[in-house]
Structure 1
Amino acid sequence: MCGIAGYFGPDAISPDRLQATLTAMHHRGPDGSGQASLAVGDNHLHLLHTRLAIIDPEARSDQPFDADDCLLVFNGEIYNFVELREELAQLGHQFETTGDTEVIIKAYRAWGLDCISRFEGMFAFAIFDRQEHCLILARDGFGEKPLFIHQDGRGLYFASEIKLLRQMGVQAGDINQDRMERFLIHGYRALNGRADSFYENITPFPPGHHARLSSPADYQPRSYWQLTHDPQPMNWMEAVEGTKHHLKNAIKLRLRADTNVAITLSGGIDSNVLAAIAAHEFDQTIHSFSMLEAEIGYNEEPLINRAVEALQCDHHIMRVHGHDFMDRLARIVHQQDAPVPTIAMYLDAWLAESVSEAGYKVALNGMGSDELFSGYYDHYLYYLAGFDGTPAYEEKVSEWRASMGQWIRNPLLKDPHRFSREPGFRDHLYLSMPDIGEFTCRPPGAYGLERDYSRDLLRNRMLNELHHEAVPVYLLAGDHNWMAQSVESRSAYLDRDLARFLYSVPSELLFRDGRAKALLREAGRGLVPPEILDMSRKVGFNARITSLLYRDNPDVVERLMSDTPVFDILRRDRIEQLMKPDTPLEGYDNFLFAFASAQLFYLNEA
């Protein structure tokens, strides 16, 4: 895991700017830095890199890495580099290092651009091919590793973070008010409906794409991979065995590191199955970290204590408080170059600080499990809609009422017939709260950017969450959270073979006995305590806004009510009412956090 930046165009960047960019990248790679500048015809190419040494930490793997007439800067990990290295060695390739960096160049020389689809990992990289006089840019299929782009009509700039582009001299432009409005009115799920950022002149390089440039004008990313729904005939036992096989392999690959690996442990199924397989199948010593909220309904301490007892792990606990909420949030906003999307990602950044302070450089998380195994409360209702009109429908509804249905707080999801009657209903997803119209300066427009990936109602919803609504938002925030602390965060479930298999499983096998994540539960059977594995309530790191935001502190209120363009979107009088200590905030947690996050972005980053 590292930081990369570069420029390809006619205007050379000054040495002072290049050094300033490397300095700004230090948090992403404190173990080394390097740069290369060369002429490519009438253009200049600059490649910059800072290194967080995880695999083959010796200087021989420092970057920019120069071999086989290729120059490489690379951020991320190629988890299957061992298998690829063996395959390449059989083709006659020789290696000078033991890590994954050199494997990228050898694979490119062996298979050209087709090598990228062979990489199982998280990555964003740039290769300059001296033989073909071209620059290759690529990003992993799920978008775990970020890459931002700026084009000024002459040259192409790219970097792991927006602030690095600005250090290179990029004029990022004004704050993108359209994106801010989507965020505040429709919530974080609306952020990636368009390929933009919170700055007008910056765009993301799309996940699962590569680009080949002989000149800066050639920039045109092309897709090399995207997960699709491809159901295949199989029974329950075949689905279980396939899940276990692919899940174990995914975790095995992501445990590869020349340093200790930490695990973020909640009271939920995802992290517990991950930790249990690592411990029992691969004899991994578990170093776990948890964030605890005392508020009833969010307190996971009994479940986490049971997990720690079962795992016999080295466990670290952080407890939620709001004593330095505003300063910490402002710091995280700066790290993100954007408002922090959710309370959960605020806590994620806090957790990253603790993992780093304890001396760890790698941490595993359960990101993506809900979108692969089907874990959200509304997923079961989409599943129920598929049985409408069949003899099994009422039985399935009864199972839901006795299980997941009893835990639902969102009033829009309490009706089990919701999607049977209204298959296109999405207000529970695309409004930050039901009465948002009372808080906006003008009536909120409809948000209708759900894309068609599958005719299956459930799978189409899951693929929207996986491709642009949920997972990419969390991945970007997570990358910036953890790299700000010089820690590599690995998403164990975001494995392409596992994902392909799960999207070939018949949808009805994703649920059992009124509960979601049936296949993941079965994969953890005998490894995870049953009181965790069989729980129907969804849990995970989260907190009430009242545990963080102290409205009885006049300094906090004054800071948040500062005059900024946020009040071109939201009504000041309604926000003032929410900021009064005696105003109930039930149902307003996410909205008020989004407001606070956006306000600090305007105050500190504009």
Structure 2
Amino acid sequence: MCAIAALLIRSGDAGTRLAPASKTLLHRGPDGTGWAGWWPDGRTATGLQPQNAPIALVHHRLAVIDPTPAAAQPFALPEGILVFNGEIYNHAELAASLVRRGIRPRTHSDTEVLALLLAHDGLPAVDRLRGMFALLWLDLRRGDLLVVRDHLGIKPLYWAEVADGLALASEPKALRTLGAGKAADAQGLWDHLRFGVTDHREQSCLSGIRQVAPGSWMRIDLRAARIVERGRWWGPRPVGGDIGAAFRTSVDRHLVSDVPLGFSLSGGVDSSAIICAAARHRSQLKGIGFASGDAQDETQWMRLAAAAAGADLELVSASPQQADLDLDELIRIQDEPFGGPSLIAQWQVFRRARDLGLTVMLGGQGADELFGGYASAVAAQAVGLARRGLFGQAMRLLSQHPGRWRAAVSREIADRLPGLRAWSAAEPWLLTSWFRDRGVAPCQPPLARGRDRLGRLLISDLTSTTLPMLLRYEDRTSMRFSVENRVPYCDRDLVEAGLAIADDDKISVDGTTKACLREMLRGLVPDAILDRRDKIGFAAPERRWREDPSGPWQRILDAANPAAAPWLDVSMLRRAIATGRGDPSVWRSLIALRWGQVLAMEWP
């Protein structure tokens, strides 16, 4: 896990221009910094910051696998130079395949294995990788820079056009240092405020800064400093297989580390399964969870999971004052708006991990999107049953989740009539005229294409509307403390096996969500956890933080004025909060308001 950045310009000193941007990424890689440079006459150099090179690459290292200097980056071969962020979990078997071909790695690192594969096989080698990665391969034979991001975008990578060329970086803040992303993107802001969605488009919430799409690649010509080719190397596709075997293999892969690791616990099925599966092979495990101290506190479930795994459990919490102290730094590190207070809880967990000397943490992100864990999946399954003429089963399913009637109907209407009430349904404090004037499309992001309702929803959740932003949240928050966050449910083999499971096996008629996953985990995870129906997630004491005058909400409102955000009626938002409104739309508006202030955003 690391930070990478590159600047490609047609002439000039790229290293000098890139140096201030690279410093904004040091938290991602405190264990060493390396540079690479390329000159038009074919010369290259690695090590120190290059002088007067029109192309410069920089890498900040967080040493996890083979932490020796031999595995440092940039990693140079006669065929090219590699910098990458992430982990290749199957690097040992890939190294063995190289040896069989007469190619013998000199180190035990995944970095060298990846570089050798790219040198000998090029882009097709990426399909053999199992892991999380964002990579830059300076191909000296082709004269281009190959840019690749993993299948689900677990590891971040952004790019922007800058003066006389292109820049890439692990986080947008580095690109902002180079002059991009000073203004907000109106469409991204609307999608966040109205629908609670970010990271679903290539364009970020920062104008001019785009993400390299998950599962995609592009080539940048070194001399022209422009993108000349791009495409996708992966898309969501079902591949039949045993999800139990795929799950166990994924957890085993994610335990490979040369540094101490721990586990994020929430008390739910997903994170409990990870630590219980790890306990098959490891002892003296360490779990960290957030104790909210309110009605949604899941301490008893975290303790049950930890006891089943024979793990030590560390609990953290945050007062309203602590939440207020952390909020601005959290906004700065996230770069883009976020949707709820659970990130403040995450912040405490990863900070404690760092204090305990844990460099790697494993968590349960991705299972809900893959197996249907959200209430929206219940609504989608009910709609799918009704479309198949199974009205009795649909009614029975919704009777187990009475609150999903409205969601089922609303999403169905939005899908069939996307423009209906697109503007009028917005919260009254959002000045829709401001968004209209900037050409914003008011409709909810559409579901993925397909025939069955639940399958379309889950693919959208997995690749567009839900998981991408959750992965961004966890990546930024964990890396702020130089902690690598791993997500076993996002393993490519497990994802492809999960996509092959029938909808009726994911949401049962009796209303059980993630039914196939729960059944597979019997005997591994305590039944009391598997039988839970009160999905809470990584809950924070939002109400206590909101109502306490020393909490973050009050400070945001105190600093607000009508000129702070031209898209917001501040006085109307104040009145809504004063009358007791505390739903997610209020939180999203407050965070966007503070985001604009903390990052000194320009409004288009």
* Contact in 1 for aligned 2:15/2:55 (Cα 8 Å): no
Q: Distance in 2 between matches of 1:487 and 1:307?
A: 23
CA apart distance, 1:565: 5.7
CA apart distance, 1:341: 2.9
CA apart distance, 1:194: 3.3
* Contact in 2 for aligned 1:127/1:135 (Cα 8 Å): yes
Q: Distance in 1 between matches of 2:336 and 2:410?
A: 34
- AA aligned to 1:198 is C
Indicate yes or no: 2:431 matched with 1:441: yes
- AA aligned to 1:87 is S
SS in 2 for 1:60: helix
CA apart distance, 1:422: 4.9
Look up the match of 1:592.
Answer: 586
- Indicate how the Cα distance of structure 1 residues 41 and 458 shifts in structure 2: closer, same or farther if over 3 A, else same: farther
- AA aligned to 2:457 is R
* Contact in 1 for aligned 2:266/2:302 (Cα 8 Å): yes
Look up the match of 1:531.
Answer: 528
* Contact in 1 for aligned 2:201/2:464 (Cα 8 Å): no
Aligned residues: 578
Look up the match of 1:283.
Answer: 282
Identify the match of residue 207 of structure 1 among 205, 210, 214: 214
* 1:2-21 pair list within 5 angstroms: 2-13=2-13, 16-21=16-21
Look up the match of 2:493.
Answer: 497
Q: Distance in 2 between matches of 1:186 and 1:222?
A: 29
* Contact in 1 for aligned 2:71/2:109 (Cα 8 Å): yes
Identify the match of residue 159 of structure 1 among 135, 151, 169: 169
Q: Distance in 1 between matches of 2:310 and 2:586?
A: 39
Q: Distance in 1 between matches of 2:338 and 2:236?
A: 27
Q: Distance in 2 between matches of 1:401 and 1:227?
A: 32
* Contact in 1 for aligned 2:160/2:210 (Cα 8 Å): yes
Look up the match of 1:235.
Answer: none
* Contact in 2 for aligned 1:366/1:493 (Cα 8 Å): yes
Look up the match of 1:424.
Answer: 415
Task: Give 5+ residue unaligned stretches, structure 2.
Answer: 43-52, 436-440
CA apart distance, 1:424: 2.9
CA apart distance, 1:389: 7.2
Indicate yes or no: 2:40 matched with 1:40: yes
SS in 2 for 1:165: helix
Normalising by structure 1, what TM-score? 0.89
Look up the match of 2:250.
Answer: 250
Normalising by structure 2, what TM-score? 0.89
Q: Which moved more, 1:1-10 or 1:378-387?
A: 378-387
* 1:350-499 pair list within 5 angstroms: 350-388=348-386, 393-395=391-393, 397-398=395-396, 400-402=398-400, 405=401, 408=403, 413-414=404-405, 418=409, 422=413, 424=415, 436-442=426-432, 446-499=442-495
Cα distance per residue 1:348-402 (max 9 Å; x no partner): 2232111111111000111111111111112122222333277864256335534
Look up the match of 2:327.
Answer: 329
Identify the match of residue 182 of structure 1 among 191, 198, 202: 191
- Indicate how the Cα distance of structure 1 residues 194 and 20 shifts in structure 2: closer, same or farther if over 3 A, else same: closer
- Indicate how the Cα distance of structure 1 residues 2 and 389 shifts in structure 2: closer, same or farther if over 3 A, else same: closer
Cα distance per residue 1:264-296 (max 9 Å; x no partner): 11111101111111112x235421010121222
* Contact in 2 for aligned 1:320/1:547 (Cα 8 Å): no
* Contact in 2 for aligned 1:176/1:198 (Cα 8 Å): yes
* Contact in 2 for aligned 1:248/1:277 (Cα 8 Å): yes
* Contact in 1 for aligned 2:283/2:310 (Cα 8 Å): no
CA apart distance, 1:107: 0.8
* Contact in 2 for aligned 1:76/1:123 (Cα 8 Å): yes
Q: What RMSD over aligned residues (CA atoms) do the two structures have, in Å?
A: 2.7
Q: Which moved more, 1:560-569 or 1:306-315?
A: 560-569
- Indicate how the Cα distance of structure 1 residues 183 and 421 shifts in structure 2: closer, same or farther if over 3 A, else same: closer
* Contact in 2 for aligned 1:68/1:105 (Cα 8 Å): no
Q: Distance in 1 between matches of 2:164 and 2:298?
A: 53
- Indicate how the Cα distance of structure 1 residues 552 and 161 shifts in structure 2: closer, same or farther if over 3 A, else same: same
Q: Which moved more, 1:255-264 or 1:10-19?
A: 10-19
Q: Distance in 1 between matches of 2:68 and 2:555?
A: 51
Identify the match of residue 316 of structure 2 among 318, 321, 342: 318
- AA aligned to 1:207 is P
* Contact in 2 for aligned 1:26/1:50 (Cα 8 Å): yes
Q: Distance in 2 between matches of 1:363 and 1:249?
A: 17
* Contact in 1 for aligned 2:147/2:219 (Cα 8 Å): yes
SS in 2 for 1:40: coil
- AA aligned to 1:172 is G
